[in-house]
């Protein structure tokens, strides 16, 4: 007898096969059979008219600190996401040695752990509402060894490699980089290859936020492929985009390069989110040189009129496409303040905050008042987003953060937005292909062999949704809106969303490396 049968839905196996009317039987946390007349079960749930899909796998998330939040956090389960890959863009919660002269708490503040393994152990103690698999971040490794200095001290690469190996042994599922951010921006290609080779010894993936997603996009893609080819690792290109008006239309070049790399034998895939705006810290608009030496040096430079002018000249240098920050790819009206310590600033565009100043000076003043401020940047064209989205090498990822405070709607609605706006309403991606992009296309790249698909032996992570009702009504003004249309979610065979409601508890697993 099975534990559960989902009866009468349209089954999508996650590999892109056409949907078919079939039952799904579950026992012992795994799928035991699919088809009709599967026998008896302790419980039968009628899902006629619904899509039955593998639980969605989010390849690019920043939910690293969500397990440490109070209460249960079902914001991803309401989207049908059963597994998230965290530690992206080069940032992870460890290793970070508080006794080191280079120690900075980084973006995770109090959740900076001495070792990567210590972070994983803490997550397991706290429990997680859905499954998590964690990358170790290059920015974090570099900070632990070099601080915010651009030039690494003698022996630094060897020490970074040791720390990476320790993370892989503890259960990291791969290595990530964030080369538009500091201190990762200070690293050369050889440093990345050395660390990626350490990942190769564990048969793990290299996920990269490219060195440029704007005017330096072509060279940045070439570098990512060079790293993967030299190290022999699988490559995941994070949140693909052609950002900034100067490069609108460059998605065709991006996809050609991905395809060419695949042809030459590099196991490359990519992800995209279904939005035309990204979200990051305002400091990313500055050239990386502004941050060398850490926050005190950043503030000193911004306060010095000569240094401020020099940084602007670097940011606007037409001869340079990398190492210049994101300034050239944005316009003041495209930048909206999401979080800032000053009253009356949040929610307004940079153009609204000039008060007679040049946009560059307004930006620098805002950062002096709050160097941790962040914003939403409307820099992408719909043609590029959709062209990237349709490509078979590209999966769907959220780039979403924790569900707290002002945020981007992608945190709450990425997968329902994709399935409603782009699949149902615009017909840009067929349903079977959409399920593949949210399932096996990601799971395979991150070594999750028994997730992201539905069939005998697969882990019973399952998403059941109404294809006519799934949606997210959140906006940039009101992003924290619960999505609709996901009716049931199974996590390891346990019903965690039932009739659209969260059933409670932290029943996810931490998926450690090759043991995932």
84: domain CATH number? 3.20.20.140
Residue 101: the pLDDT is 57
**190 shares its domain with 61:** yes
**256 shares its domain with 189:** yes
Residue 484 included in any domain: no
More confident residue, 272 or 103: 272
Residue 415: the pLDDT is 98
- Residue 371 above 90 pLDDT? yes
- Residue 236 above 60 pLDDT? yes
User: Which residues are CB-contacts of 252 (< 8 A; sequence separation ≥ 6)?
Assistant: 387
Candidates 225, 228, 223, 168; CA nearest to 198 is 168
- Give the confidence band of 112 by pLDDT, cuts at 50, 70, 90: confident
- Give the confidence band of 110 by pLDDT, cuts at 50, 70, 90: confident
- As to burial, measured by CB atoms within 10 angstroms (0-12 exposed, 13-18 middle, 19+ buried), residue 315 is buried
164-188 pLDDT, tens digit each: 999 999 999 999 999 999 999 999 9
Query: Which residue, chain included where needed, has tokens 């397991």?
Result: 124
User: Which residues are CB-contacts of 313 (< 8 A; sequence separation ≥ 6)?
Assistant: none
Length of the chain: 516
Distances 37 to 25, 34, 40, 344 between C-alpha atoms, Å: 10, 9, 9, 62
**Three-class SS state of 61:** strand
Residue 13 included in any domain: no
Q: Do the beta carbons of residue 76 and residue 129 sit within 8 Å?
A: yes
420-459 pLDDT, tens digit each: 999 999 999 999 999 999 999 999 999 999 999 999 999 9
- What's the mean pLDDT in 484-507? 98
**253 shares its domain with 135:** yes
Distance, in Å, from the CA atom of 497 to the CA atom of 6, rounded to the nearest integer, reads 14
Q: What is the mean pLDDT of the chain?
A: 96
What strands lie across the sheet with 205-209, from one edge to the other? 136-137, 174-178, 205-209, 234-237, 268-272, 394-396
Q: Which domain holds residue 368?
A: 287-377
Residue 259 included in any domain: yes
186-232 pLDDT, tens digit each: 999 999 999 999 999 999 999 999 999 999 999 999 999 999 999 99
Residue 513: the pLDDT is 84
Residue 505 included in any domain: no
Among 403, 437, 464, give the residue marking a domain's end: 403
Residue 336: the pLDDT is 97
**118 shares its domain with 210:** yes
Give the distance between the most distant pair of CA atoms in the chain.
78
Residue 388 included in any domain: yes
Among 377, 393, 428, give the residue marking a domain's end: 377
Domain count, the chain: 2
User: Which residues are CB-contacts of 265 (< 8 A; sequence separation ≥ 6)?
Assistant: 229
- Residue 18 above 70 pLDDT? yes
**299 shares its domain with 365:** yes
**148 shares its domain with 254:** yes
**245 shares its domain with 316:** no
Among 377, 395, 413, give the residue marking a domain's end: 377
| DSSP calls for 453-480 | S-STTSB--EEEE-TTT-B----SSS--
Residue 149 included in any domain: yes
Residue 516: the pLDDT is 42
- What's the mean pLDDT in 137-158? 95
**224 shares its domain with 301:** no
- What's the mean pLDDT in 53-69? 97
Structure tokens, 352 = 């609204």
Residue 106: the pLDDT is 56
**73 shares its domain with 206:** yes
Residue 33 included in any domain: no
- Give the confidence band of 240 by pLDDT, cuts at 50, 70, 90: very high
What percent of the chain is modeled with pLDDT above 70? Answer: 97
pTM of the model: 0.97
Query: Which residue, chain included where needed, has tokens 């992003």?
Result: 479
| DSSP calls for 303-338 | HSHHHHHHHHHHHT-TT-SSSS-SGGG--GGGEEEE
- Residue 297 above 50 pLDDT? yes
**294 shares its domain with 371:** yes
Residue 206 included in any domain: yes
3-12 pLDDT, tens digit each: 999 999 999 9
What is the sign of the dihedral through the CA atoms of 21, 25, 31 and 33? negative
Distance, in Å, from the CA atom of 210 to the CA atom of 223, rounded to the nearest integer, reads 8
Per-residue burial over 478-496, b if 16 or more Cβ lie within 10 Å, else e, is ebeebbbbbbbbbbbbbbb
260-285 pLDDT, tens digit each: 999 999 999 999 999 999 999 999 99
**122 shares its domain with 197:** yes
**253 shares its domain with 327:** no
């Amino acid at each position: 007898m099975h534990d559960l049968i989902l009866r009468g839905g349209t089954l999508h196996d996650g590999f892109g096969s056409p949907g078919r009317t079939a039952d799904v039987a579950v026992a012992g946390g795994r799928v035991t059979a699919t088809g009709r007349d599967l026998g008896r079960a302790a419980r039968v749930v009628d899902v006629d008219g619904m899509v039955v899909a593998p639980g969605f796998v989010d390849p690019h998330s920043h939910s690293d600190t969500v397990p440490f939040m109070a209460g249960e956090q079902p914001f991803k389960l309401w989207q049908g996401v059963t597994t998230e890959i965290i530690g992206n863009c080069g940032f992870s919660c460890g290793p970070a040695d508080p006794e080191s002269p280079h120690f900075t708490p980084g973006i995770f503040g109090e959740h900076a752990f001495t070792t990567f393994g210590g972070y994983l152990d803490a997550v397991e103690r706290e429990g997680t509402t859905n499954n998590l698999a964690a990358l170790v971040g290059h920015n974090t490794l570099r900070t632990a060894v070099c601080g915010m200095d651009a030039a690494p001290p003698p022996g630094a690469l060897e020490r970074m490699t040791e720390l990476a190996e320790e993370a892989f042994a503890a259960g990291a599922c791969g290595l990530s980089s964030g080369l538009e951010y500091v201190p990762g921006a200070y690293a050369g290609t050889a440093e990345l290859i050395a660390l990626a080779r350490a990942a190769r010894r564990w048969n793990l993936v290299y996920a990269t936020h490219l060195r440029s997603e704007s005017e330096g996009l072509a060279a940045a893609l070439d570098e990512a492929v060079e790293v993967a080819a030299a190290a022999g690792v699988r490559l995941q290109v994070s949140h693909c985009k052609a950002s900034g008006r100067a490069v609108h239309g460059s998605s065709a070049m991006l996809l050609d390069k991905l395809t060419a790399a695949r042809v030459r034998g590099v196991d490359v895939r990519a992800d995209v989110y279904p939005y035309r705006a990204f979200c990051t810290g305002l400091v990313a608009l500055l050239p990386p040189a502004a941050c060398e030496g850490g926050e005190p040096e950043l503030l000193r430079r911004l306060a010095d009129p000569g240094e401020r002018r020099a940084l602007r000249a670097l940011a606007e240098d037409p001869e340079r496409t990398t190492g210049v920050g994101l300034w050239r790819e944005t316009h003041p009206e495209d930048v909206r303040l999401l979080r800032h310590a000053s009253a009356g600033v949040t929610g307004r565009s940079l153009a609204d905050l000039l008060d007679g100043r040049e946009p560059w000076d307004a930006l620098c003043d805002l950062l002096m008042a709050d160097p941790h401020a962040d914003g939403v940047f409307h820099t992408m064209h719909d043609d590029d987003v959709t062209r990237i989205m349709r490509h078979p090498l590209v999966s769907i990822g959220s780039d979403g953060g924790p569900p707290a405070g002002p945020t981007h709607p992608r945190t709450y609605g990425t997968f329902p937005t994709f399935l409603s706006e782009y699949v149902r309403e615009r017909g840009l991606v067929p349903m079977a292909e959409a399920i593949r992009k949210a399932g096996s296309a990601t799971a395979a790249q991150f070594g999750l062999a028994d997730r992201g698909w539905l069939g005998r032996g697969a882990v019973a992570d399952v998403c059941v949704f109404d294809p006519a009702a799934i949606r997210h009504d959140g906006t940039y003004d009101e992003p924290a809106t619960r999505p609709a249309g996901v009716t049931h979610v199974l996590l390891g065979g346990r019903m965690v969303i039932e009739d659209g409601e969260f059933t409670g508890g932290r029943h996810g697993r931490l998926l450690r490396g090759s043991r995932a």
